[in-house]
Amino acid sequence: MGTYDHQRVLTDWSNGTLTADMAIGHSLQHIAQLYELLAQQRKSANDKVNHLENKVNALQIQLDRLTKRVSMELEKQKSPTPNANLPEMNTLEK
């Protein structure tokens, strides 16, 4: 879509070298370009948000696994083993 830049359109309009129909046509083209840019920016922003959400979800899974392991280790340390007070048994050598 080719159109003059907005400053030229405004200057030509001020000088009277642009008809109302031409000004409307250029304005519509500029509006279309703005909507295109807006759509591109929204897509880019959505892609970034999706990427960050995926990253956060992956980190949350890792954190949950780590928390579970630490909790299990702490539980192991709290509960005494059933044979903790018994002397060690030596194995017979052949």
The tens digit of pLDDT for each residue in 10-63 reads: 898 899 999 999 989 998 999 999 999 999 999 999 999 999 999 999 999 999
Residue 69: pLDDT over 80: yes
* pLDDT mean over 59-78: 93
The per-residue pLDDT for 48 is: 98
The per-residue pLDDT for 4 is: 78
**Among candidate residues 29, 30, 34, 4, the one with its CA nearest the CA of residue 18:** 4
The per-residue pLDDT for 90 is: 62
For residue 77, what pLDDT band results from cuts at 50, 70 and 90?
confident
d(CA 56, CA 30): 39
**Paired tokens of 38:** 């807006």
